[in-house]
Amino acid sequence: MDTDLSARTEGAISGSAGPAGRGPHGARGRETQFAQQGRVLNVFGNGFLILWALLVILPILWVVLGSFKTDSEIGGSAWSWPSHWSFDAFGRAWTKGIGGYFGNTVIVLTFSVTLTMLFGSMAAYVLARCEFRGNRFIYYLFVSGVMFPVYLALVPLFFQVNNLHMLNTYQGLVLVYAAFSMPFTVFFLHAFFRTLPTAVFEAALLDGASYTRAFFQVMVPMAKPGLLSVGIFNVLGQWNQYLLPVVLMQRQRGQSQAHQMLSQGLVNLLVAQGYSGDYPALFAGMTIAMIPVLVVYLSFQRQVQAGLTAGTFK
């Protein structure tokens, strides 16, 4: 009787709960539930990425197609293919001033990005690896600049640059670009420099290298992924900057272009057309403005991704 009772009890337990792999609440059941949730999340994430890609690609495609169309084709259908592929609109946009604006922007970015990366990397390294009184205060002072909106500084910035006699000059805009890009550069590189090993730097000092030489010849090459990443962000941000050039690079009487930037040139090209607008030339100017940004990002895409993840895996 005891044997039959034990057998019936074991059978009831196995029938209600079942083995771990067969029961509805067993290990396999939980794995199946997690797999279903993962598939739902993947579908949602992939769908969001596809939607975001369409929102980015479609306007770019529309602008590029419009630069090869005529005014009638642009007004007729937005997504139709051009009847005749011609680069005449690019020539008209270039001769109407886009070429000069493009050159001004390249000149300013060459010096502003160089100054930003040079002083930003030096400040970030000192704050990340050197302990001294006021270190954290200076670091948080830099970080607070990331949250400071540029709109609040436009009026005092205009008068300050004007008092320094740098209004409508390359050097004035270069210094302002570098100053506003410095907080993000220091914030980004500070975390990156903290992940680098100190043994190599100390070995260079023991070999007789100075702190400056050890920094530029040892630490900077090791920080190349992070420097490339933040450099690309600075190029993109300064290339697309519009508000600061409008305030600091104002066209004077008797000057056709002064030292205005490419973003200002596109607005001037639209305003100068009036009611008889040359929209293919305008779209061509926008395409010229987008090409360098796309080329830079696509060329260094892997380096940017490596720089963003390098500090996590070290």
251 near 257, Cβ under 8 Å? Answer: yes
pTM above 0.95, yes or no: no
* H helix runs in 240-278, sequence order: 243-248, 262-273
Q: Where are the alpha helices (DSSP H) in 130-223?
A: 135-146, 154-163, 170-193, 199-206, 211-214, 220-222
pLDDT at 132: 87
Q: CA distances (Å), 280 to each of 79, 171, 264, 277, in order? A: 14, 34, 18, 9
What φ, ψ does residue 15 adopt, rounded to 5°?
A: -75, -35
The Cα 38–Cα 165 span in angstroms is 61
Euclidean distance between CA atoms 140 and 151, whole angstroms: 21
pLDDT of the chain along its 314 residues, tens only?
Answer: 455 545 554 554 444 444 444 444 556 666 676 666 667 678 777 888 889 888 988 888 989 998 998 878 887 777 788 888 888 889 988 988 888 899 999 999 999 999 999 999 999 999 998 888 889 999 999 988 888 888 888 999 999 999 999 989 999 999 999 999 999 999 999 988 888 888 888 888 888 888 888 889 888 888 888 898 899 889 989 998 999 999 998 766 555 556 789 888 888 888 776 666 778 888 999 999 999 888 888 887 776 666 666 554 44
- Distance, CA of 250 to CA of 264 (rounded, Å): 10
User: Do the beta carbons of residue 235 and residue 307 sit within 8 Å?
Assistant: no
- State the Cα–Cα distance between residues 218 and 228, nearest whole angstrom: 16
Measured CA to CA, the distance from residue 135 to residue 62 in angstroms comes to 50
What are the backbone angles phi and psi of residue 174, rounded to the nearest 5°? -60, -45
Structure-block tokens of residue 18: 């079942």
CA nearest neighbour of 290 among 98, 75, 4, 96? 98
258: amino acid identity, one letter: A
Cβ neighbors of 17 (< 8 A, separation 6 or more) are 23
Question: What is the dihedral sign for C-alpha 179, 184, 185, 189?
Answer: positive
pLDDT in the model for residue 174: 95
CATH 1.10.3720.10 assigned to 89-313: yes
C-alpha torsion 257→258→262→263, nearest 10: -90
Contacts of 65 (CB under 8 A, 6+ apart): 79, 81, 82
User: Where exactly are the structural domains of the chain?
Assistant: 89-313
> Using an 8 Å Cβ cutoff, are 74 and 66 in contact?
yes
